[in-house]
Structure formats: structure tokens, C-alpha cells
Chains A and B, each alone.
Chain A
Amino acid sequence: MKTKLQQFKESYFLYSFMRDWVAMASLVVLVVFLVIAFAAPWISPMDPYDATNIDIMNSEIPPMWMDGGSKEFPLGTDNQGRDMLSTMFYGLRTSIIIGLGAVAIQAGIGIVLGLMAGYLGGKTDAILMRLADIQFSFPYLMVAIFMSAIFQVVFGLGSFERMAIPLLTLIIGLSNWPMFARTIRASVMGEKNKEYVEAARVIGLPQRIIMFRHILPNALTSVMVISTIQVANAVMSEAALSFLGLGMPVTKPSLGSLIRAGQEYFFSGSWWITVLPGIWLVLFVLVINLLGDWLRDVLNPKLYKG
């Protein structure tokens, strides 16, 4: 009997990972990003959310390798005098929290509804899938934009900004669940007629147990593949919403609202306020996409289309 670790060491999964330097590099970068995001409060030179740390006299200082830059602010400061490096760390943290939270919500709704639709079939299936179809026919970004716009107009900017993080997580989560529901349903349909499910049914297990304990683990591969891509999508949606002014406020910036704030200063020469968070965001989304592509190729050879 092999241990789990041994099994993993000899698996095709690890083998193909070790042979693909793009995937390895992406994973390393991603881990660095995650560590930075997690440790932001401890490794940042200053706390950009604390107004007492901010001195408006320090605004628009260029990065330290340029003329007029100072050692105190390695990547310069933004228009309000916040240290760019710390703001980017905190911004990444916010973006990742919202991205992961939103995908957790999407996956939660999607898994439950997809399992029910796929396993129970019949009327449940028809109703749930029609619902998914209808929401799918509207672009998810549009749905998210409308939801946050209406919330902002109805409850005012103040209450929107106070609860921006949970609200954005919820909005982005709700706007994109059909993706998961459909994928899960498709794999459940493939699994539910297999013998082990029949066997479970014969020994009289309740449906709930069969669905969640027997079928779900076998349908999880596809969830893993779309989850990675969906995290990238969620982070991008959050950035887009924030850029439109419908997301994180400038006092607690995510990467999107940083880019928005720096936009006016970009054309007058202070490029770093926009470009640095921009590169930061692109790099983060890029490594997730690269990993997601690789994961799809390895786990799902049937779908592989070059």
C-alpha cells in the first residue's frame, strides 16, 4: 500500500508539472503574490489606511531610482502622499480577498444547484438550467455593474463605501454562478449512471449523501479547472468595477481604484501611480491564467485543443 505522498510523487500530475517551466514559474510567482497579500500588514513600510500616516506634502514623489525619489518611498508615492509599495500590497490583498471570496460564493451556489440539476433531473433540472441560461444570456460584468450601481444610487455612496468588500464579493459571486452550475451538472450527468452510484442507491443511502459524498468528489476535477480561471475573472471584474467608481473607494484602494486614481496624474508625468499597480495586476492575473491553462491541459485532455 502506497502512502498518499508517494502516490502524489509518482503521479502524472506532478510529472507534467515538473516538465513545464512556465507552470512552475507561474506557481512560484503566484505563491509570492499570495504571501505578500497575506502578510501585507506586517511587511508594508506604512499603513495606507491610517490617515495619520499620510502627509499630503509627500504626494507624487517618484520612485527612488528617479530624480527626486527618496529611500523612504521605494516606489514613490501616490497623489495623496501614500507609499506606493504599501498601497500596492494592501491593494493586492483587497483584490485577492474579493476574488477568492467571490469564487467561493460562485462555487457554493454552482455546486449545490448543479448537483441538484444533474442528479435529480426532470423539473428541477429544467427550472434551474433555464434560470442559469437566462442569467448567462447577460454578460456577468454587466450584471455586476448594474447591481453595484443600483446599490450605490439607492443606499448612497457612504453606506456603499463602508461595506464595499463584502458587498463586492457578494455581487461578483452572484453575477457568475451559472458557469459553475453548468460545468458541475455536465460532469454529474456523466457520473450518475456509473455502477458505484447504482450500488450506493441499492444499499439505500439517502440522496443527499450520494450527491455530496459519492458523486461530488468525482466531479471536482472540472471545478478545479474553472476555479482558477474564475479567480482571474473575479479579480478582473473587481478591478473593472473599481475603475468605474463602482467598487472599492479610494480610501481603501484595490488595484483597480489605484489605477483609477492615478489616471489623471499619468498624463502630467506621474506615471508610476497608474503603471505600477497596472503591472502588478496584469502579472497577478497572467500567472493565474497560465496556471489555469496548464491545469486544463493536464486534467482534461479531452478538452485540450492546443
Chain B
Amino acid sequence: MIAFIIRRVLQAVVVMLVISLVVFAIKNQFGDPVRDLVGERVTPEERQQIADKMGLNDPFFVQYGRFVKNAVTQGDLGRSFLYNKPNLEVIANHAPATIELVLGTALIIIVLSLPLGVYCALKPRSWLSRFTMSFSTLGVSMPVFLTAILLIYLFAVHWRILPSYGRGETVDLFGNGIWMTGLLTVDGLKHLILPCISLSTLMLPLFIRLIRSEMMEVLETEYIKYAWAKGLSPRRVWLVHAFKNTLLPVITVFGVQIGIMFAFTLLTELVFQWPGMGFMFLEAVNRADLSLLIAYLVVVAALFVVVNTVVDILYGFINPTVRITGTK
């Protein structure tokens, strides 16, 4: 087990090093830190001096070593030329908005997909199941941004019952200005509804189908037949015996899909002008802030690598065969 953990962590470190090397090469080749720092109105001589002082004329691998060292020991990923603040601080300021959006969406998905998926598995021929299934095929084919635009039109422009963009009123969660939350005000919650619904239309069909097929498979197994034979009530067989065993694969997929959802928050955040990380990223692209872009890339990559590693290790605890297959 320890060997497995070490191997998995080493692999994660190697992946991060490769990503950081690629990213650093791009930054080194195309970025201009002197411009980021002092702007365009400096003579070439002064520019050269600043470059010397910052070590920009050192060999590539010396600079790369410094980049990794600063990033690991001080959490220093450079400064944003757009916000004129350390990149990490800019990203941290925008993170809560995105996290709240993802949390709200996850909640909608859990609340809706579990009952619907189970129902579709138990009563595959009822009209509600058929409707849900055809609706989910349509949902898969519908781009998130289109859903979002249509939702804004219906609820914000046509009926005027929900706000159309932004986060609304936010309050400071810890009193230190880092986590501004919209979850505690009515206005903030109202602003959350439409973005969360449009983001959830992406994953909801997938989960309904997954839960349905897993449940149907479980219902065919021997132990369920045995439970029926014992004369247990349908409710007990379905909800206690079958449902429990449906959950394990669903939870695994859920973990992976949350990561994918982060990618799609970009689209929702753009339509709803939601001031999260995705919106910040697009602004960095439009204003050519390469430094911020790269810092964001490193942060996202690190996030994914850490989450994947942790999930794999946890899986190693639950399911010993995973540990063995990787050994050869």
C-alpha cells in the first residue's frame, strides 16, 4: 500500500513538473515581464538593467529552477499585469464565485438525478420515464451557453422574476475580505439560480442515465432476487438493497464530472457575467495577460492532479485490485 501511494505521488510530481516546464517555456519565450512591470515607456538601457536585475538573461534552466522554487516555497506565480497584483491573489479572489456556482449546480444535480434515475429504472415504461429519457437526449445535444441565453431571456427579460447577470449582493464570510459569499443573502441566492440551472443541464441527463442503467443492472442480480424471495416489501428491496449498491459507481463518476464542470463554468460565467475564475481567465485572454493566464493554468493543473491522486489513493484503499494492476 505504501509503495502504491509513493508511486502515485511521484507520478503526480512528475506530471506537475512536465506541465510547469511546458508552461514556463511558453512564458519564457513569449512573455515580457519587463513590460508587465513598468509598461512601455522605458528606454532600452533601463529595460536591459531591469532584465539583468530580475535574472531574465540567465540560462533557461536556471530561470526554470527559480520559477519552480518560488512557486513551491512562496506560492509565488508572478504578477498580473492586468490587475497589478500577485497572480495567486487574483485567482484566490475569483475562486469563491466559481466554487459557489459549482456547489449550487452539484446540489441541483443530486436532488434531481437520484429520484428521477431510480424512478426511470423501476418504471421504464411509464410516460414520465419516457419523457425524462427523451428529454435527456435533447439535453445532451444542447450547448450550455444556448440554454443559458434562453433562460435569461425567459426569466429575466420576459417574465422579469430573476436577475440576469452578476452575483448580486455578497457578504464577507470570514471577515478578512477573501471569501465574498452570495449564499447568505436573498439577492445573492436569486442570482445563483439561473447560472446553476443552466450549468446543471449539462450533467443532469448523464447522471439520470447512469443511475438508471446502474439501478437496472443491480435489480437483475441474484441477491435482489433473494430479497424478493424472502418476501420483503418492494420499498425495502428498491431503496435499501438495490439503491445502496447503485451509489458506489455513481459517486465515482460524480467526482470526475465535478472536474469537468469546472471547465464548463467558463461558458456559464461568460453569459451571466459571473465574476469567477472563468470570467477572469477570458479577460486575461482578451487583454493578453500571459502571466495571469499561465498562473491560472498551473493552478488548475495542480488542482486536477491533486484531486486525481487523492481519488486514486482512496480507491486503492477501497479496492485492492487497483493497487496490483499498476505494479507490473
Contacts and interface: CB of A to CB of B under 8 A. Distances in A.
Nearest to B270: A244
- Helix, strand, loop or mixed for chain A's interface? helix
A271 B26 CA distance: 41
Interface string A55-88: 0000000000000000000000000000000000
A256 B149 CA distance: 13
Interface in B263-301: 263-264, 266-267, 270-271, 281-282, 285-286, 288-290, 293, 297, 300-301
A154 B260 contact: no
B193 to A, nearest CB: 18
Q: Tell me if B's interface is mostly helix, strand, loop or mixed.
A: helix
A285 B141 contact: yes
Given A137-B304, A149-B281, A306 B286 contact: no
Interface string A266-306: 11000100110010011001100110010000000000011
A146 B308 CA distance: 19
A306 B282 contact: no
B152 interface: yes
B266 A145 contact: yes
A139 B259 contact: yes
Contacts of A245: 282, 285-286
Contacts of B328: 126
B124 A306 contact: yes
Contacts of A146: 297
A263 interface: yes
Interface residues of B, number: 49
Contacts of B149: 259, 263, 266, 274, 278
B137 A286 contact: yes
Contacts of A260: 145
B315 interface: no
Interface in A136-156: 137-139, 141-142, 145-146, 149-150, 152-154
Interface in A145-182: 145-146, 149-150, 152-154
Contacts of A232: 141
B131 interface: no
A160 B140 CA distance: 30
A256 B281 CA distance: 19
Contacts of B226: none
B123 to A, nearest CB: 13
Given A244-B270, A267-B157, A149 B213 contact: no
A102 interface: no
Interface string B211-232: 0110011000000000000000
A243 B141 contact: no
A286 B205 CA distance: 14
Interface string A171-203: 000000000000000000000000000000000
B26 A243 contact: no
B133 to A, nearest CB: 9
Given A141-B263, A290-B137, A267 B152 contact: yes
A238 B75 CA distance: 35
Contacts of B212: 306
Nearest to B267: A240
Contact of A139 (B11, B146, B260, B305): B260
B143 interface: yes
Contact of B270 (A152, A239, A243, A305): A243
Nearest to B260: A139
Give the top 8 A-B pairs by smallest Cβ distance, nearest first.
Answer: A305-B213, A142-B263, A286-B141, A285-B141, A139-B263, A139-B260, A154-B30, A278-B146
11 contacts: A139-B260, A153-B285, A153-B288, A239-B143, A243-B267, A245-B285, A246-B285, A274-B146, A278-B149, A281-B143, A305-B213
Interface of B: 11, 15, 26, 29-30, 124, 137-138, 140-146, 149-150, 152-153, 157, 164, 212-213, 216-217, 259-260, 262-264, 266-267, 270-271, 281-282, 285-286, 288-290, 293, 297, 300-301, 304-305, 308, 328
